């Protein structure tokens, strides 16, 4: 079949090409409803390639131009190969792997998809991967009733995590970002305190808000060395640092407090816990979305036709108000 897909042809060079593709016997053909742009997609667009091209950890193919990409998407199964057992035409599914989702149709193997929960809105199920990963992080963050929690980075994931930990009973959630608009939106959605770290020293702000103790739990969702360092500095004695981001460049940290203050480090990357764990956790992580306990729709700030992906990438890259940019084929 003829498929229209976006591919990178160089640093910040992207175009939509037509390809003739033939699904294999173990592949499922999905008609894309929408596809999301995430931080790692922006990194690839900007020429920041993970060591070893991310191969064996996350991405499906080694990196070279032209590179077809995209990993967040959902849609409807239109065809299955003869060896496929778990899916059939008409099923609503969510991509959970690098299956080149910036396409009008994408092909995936059984283990690269999760079935969408019945009744989930099509735009939200198209973001099943980033929502599922962020909710998983919040659920596994060890946040307890009454905790003070700092979330460093209020992009899509940080916003979702902040909502989850608040609903879990955090006494106060402090969001740190450099963009006022993201902090304002988060406050509308329940964040207690927003600190713009380009104007106010975030460490002093967190200490002030926690009576000088530091936060019980700090969650890293910005993906920078400064953010990780802030986690190390702003958590209380015996507190918990939660890692969410995938940082692919070398960074330098002072981790003296890991030892001296007996910190607990929790890694919350759902897609790396193994496929069996993913099958168990995805329905659990999406349940509060279906129940209306989390407010995700306002985080979709831009919706752009796939044909204008260059514009969409620029927006995701440069517009400080962009939280989640989605592409529609």
- Give the binding site for Zn ion (CB under 5 A): 38, 72
Minimum distance from CB of 242 to Zn ion (Å)? 17
Minimum distance from CB of 156 to Zn ion (Å)? 9
Interhelix angle for 225-234 vs 202-209, to 10°?
30
Of residues 72 and 220, the one with the C-beta less far from Zn ion = 72
Angle at 229 between CA 207 and CA 142, to 5 degrees: 70
Of residues 54 and 329, the one with the C-beta less far from Zn ion = 54
**Dist. CA 115–CA 91, nearest whole Å:** 7
**Dist. CA 24–CA 21, nearest whole Å:** 9
Of residues 69 and 107, the one with the C-beta less far from Zn ion = 69
Q: Where are the alpha helices (DSSP H) in the chain?
A: 39-45, 122-126, 128-139, 156-167, 180-188, 202-209, 225-234, 256-260, 275-290, 309-318
Of residues 38 and 270, the one with the C-beta less far from Zn ion = 38
Minimum distance from CB of 90 to Zn ion (Å)? 26
Of residues 37 and 205, the one with the C-beta less far from Zn ion = 37
Of residues 94 and 152, the one with the C-beta less far from Zn ion = 94
Minimum distance from CB of 125 to Zn ion (Å)? 15
Minimum distance from CB of 40 to Zn ion (Å)? 6
Exposure of 80 by Cβ count < 10 A (0-12 exposed, 13-18 middle, 19+ buried)? Answer: buried
Minimum distance from CB of 325 to Zn ion (Å)? 12
Residues pairing with 173 in the sheet? 149
| Phi and psi torsions of 95, nearest 5° | -75, 135
Of residues 72 and 177, the one with the C-beta less far from Zn ion = 72
Contact in structure between 62 and 101 (CB atoms under 8 Å): no
Minimum distance from CB of 193 to Zn ion (Å)? 27
Task: Give kind and range of the element (H or E) at residue 174.
Answer: strand 172-177
**Dist. CA 1–CA 24, nearest whole Å:** 12
Of residues 234 and 289, the one with the C-beta less far from Zn ion = 289
CA distances from 151 to 95, 133, 166, 246, 328 (A): 26, 15, 11, 16, 30
| Phi and psi torsions of 263, nearest 5° | -80, 150
Minimum distance from CB of 36 to Zn ion (Å)? 7
Residue nearest to Zn ion (CB): 38
**Quick check: helix, strand or coil at residue 88?**
coil
């Amino acid at each position: 079949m003829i498929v229209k897909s976006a591919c990178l042809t160089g640093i910040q060079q992207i175009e939509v090409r037509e390809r003739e593709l033939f699904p294999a016997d173990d592949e499922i053909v999905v008609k894309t409803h929408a596809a999301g742009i995430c931080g790692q997609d922006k990194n690839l667009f900007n020429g920041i390639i993970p060591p070893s091209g991310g191969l064996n950890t996350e991405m499906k193919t080694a990196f070279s131009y032209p590179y077809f990409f995209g990993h967040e998407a959902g849609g409807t199964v239109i065809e299955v190969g003869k060896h496929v057992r778990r899916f059939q035409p008409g099923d609503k599914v969510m991509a959970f792997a690098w299956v080149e989702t910036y396409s009008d149709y994408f092909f995936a193997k059984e283990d690269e998809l999760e079935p969408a929960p019945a009744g989930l809105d099509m735009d939200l199920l198209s973001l099943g991967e980033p929502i599922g990963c962020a909710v998983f992080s919040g659920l596994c963050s060890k946040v307890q009733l009454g905790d003070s929690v700092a979330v460093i980075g209020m992009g899509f994931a940080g916003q979702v995590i902040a909502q989850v930990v608040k609903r879990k009973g955090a006494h106060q959630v402090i969001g740190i970002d450099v963009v006022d608009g993201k902090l304002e939106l988060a406050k509308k959605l329940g964040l207690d305190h927003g600190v713009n770290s380009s104007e106010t020293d975030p460490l002093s702000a967190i200490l002030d808000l926690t009576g000088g103790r530091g936060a019980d739990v700090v969650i890293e969702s910005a993906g920078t060395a400064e953010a990780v360092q802030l986690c190390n500095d702003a958590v209380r004695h015996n507190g918990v640092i939660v890692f969410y981001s995938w940082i692919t460049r070398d960074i330098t940290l002072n981790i003296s407090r890991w030892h001296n203050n007996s910190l607990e480090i929790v890694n919350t990357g759902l897609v790396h816990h193994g496929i069996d764990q993913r099958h168990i956790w995805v329905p659990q992580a999406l349940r509060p979305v279906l129940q209306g306990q989390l407010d995700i729709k306002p985080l979709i700030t831009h919706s752009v036709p796939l044909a204008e992906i260059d514009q969409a990438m620029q927006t995701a890259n440069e517009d400080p108000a962009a939280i989640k940019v989605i592409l529609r084929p």
